[in-house]
Structure 1
Amino acid sequence: MSAALLMRAQARNNAWANHRLLTACVALSQPEFEAPRTGFFPSLRATLNHILVIDLFYVDALEGGTLGPAAWADPEPCKTLTELHPAQAAVDRRLMAWCDTLTDGDMGRLIHVHRGQRVQTERADRLLLHLFQHQVHHRGQAHAMLSGTAVRPPQLDEFYSIAEAPLRATEFAALGFTENDLWQEHA
């Protein structure tokens, strides 16, 4: 598998896992969404907003933007799941679109990450790996928090299992891609 194809697959897995987690969270009441919970961030709302804010920061940098620390000026820009789910889906689509342009030769492309008083220069492949790890880390925390509610946490780690194929096809369609699209090498 090429590195570019792997990054496209990771971007889609990321979008799919966010979609599954946020879809499950819709069953929470607003007080349950805001309730104090054990984790790095003190609630599901804070944790899921953190994922969004950091995605906005890094996706902007990948796209050549200069948003920088302004991304986290409001650490919880989405007060409700009704706001959060489409906002996360939008940044996930941007990340997938960016990854769709990649070739293996682009993995070493330098990305300029604006951090206020300085600009960090990072290779595209390393920045993407960091971003995907960040997502998994905090989604895992949100998943654990959700297990402390009456809402059953969704399966997030069987992206390509045969058993998940029918549900996965429906969810992928809602996200705008198919499994066949996923495994196609782009020019």
Structure 2
Amino acid sequence: MTNALRFIRKLAFANMLANDRLHEAVSALKPGEFEAPRTGFFPSLVATLNHILIIDWFYIDALEGGDLGPRAWQNAVPYSDAAELRAAQLASDRRLLTLCRKLGDEDLGRPTRVHRTGRIQVERTDDVLSHLFQHQTHHRGQAHAMLSGTSVKPPQLDEFIVADDAASRVDVMERLGLTEADVMDLDR
């Protein structure tokens, strides 16, 4: 396995762990805070977190060879309930992790067909994955900032890559039933 493939697998794990920790914080919000208007690219936590999920569906489907395309965002807020949204995000994150774990080095440069409105965008698989992880990070950061205006302290979201951070991620690892070997031994 190349370093590039290991890096992509590590990002898929970090993505799942960060999403779960963010959703854990959201689960502690007081009634009305999830839907309350906030300053950000999207006008609320519910809209921002649903956007993350919808765009995951869009890109993961393309990476799997599907043609979901813009149908992914026909409903801008498919989950208004925080617990249901969390479960859907975790399912999407597990789907992405499974996809990344199945990739071989030779797959990273293969073309991925992204179905857009009226056209097919063709990109390298590793570039689509990089874009997807960047998209997630971008909008998680916005949701993190939105939490600053709620009753819940924004959680730490960047303790998921290096081995030295193991003690800082015990909570989310236990919730997801993962071990340090799962996240660090990516050759399997």
- TM-score exceeds 0.5: yes
The alpha-carbon distance between structure 1 residues 183 and 166, as it changes in their structure 2 partners (threshold 3 A), is closer
Asked whether the equivalents of residues 4 and 103 of structure 1 are also in contact (C-alpha less than 8 Å), the reply is yes
C-alpha change, 1:163 and 1:106, in structure 2 (3 Å) is closer
Give the alignment of 1:1-187 within 5 angstroms.
2-160=3-161, 164-166=165-167, 168-186=169-187
Distance change >3 Å, CA 73–CA 4, structure 1 → 2: same
Note the C-alpha offset of 1:171.
Answer: 1.9
Checking the alignment, whether the CA contact within 8 Å between 1:57 and 1:69 is kept in structure 2 is yes
Deviation at 1:88, TM superposition (A): 0.2
Alpha carbons 2:173, 2:179 under 8 Å: kept: yes
Q: Which piece of structure 1 moves more, 77-86 or 152-161?
A: 152-161
Q: 1:176 to 1:116 in 2, by over 3 A?
A: farther
Structure 2 CA distance for aligned equivalents of residues 29 and 134 of structure 1: 27
Which letter does structure 2 place at the counterpart of 1:103?
Answer: G
Counterpart of 1:70, as a letter, is R
User: CA shift at 1:2, angstroms?
Assistant: 1.1
Length, aligned pairs only: 187
Q: Within 2, Cα distance between the matches of 1:126 and 1:176?
A: 30
Structure 1: runs of 5+ lacking an equivalent: none
Instruction: Give the % identical residues.
Output: 56
CA deviation vs aligned residue, 1:29-52 (integer Å, no higher than 9, x gap): 341100000000000000000000
The TM-score normalised by the length of structure 2 is 0.93
TM-score by length of 1: 0.93
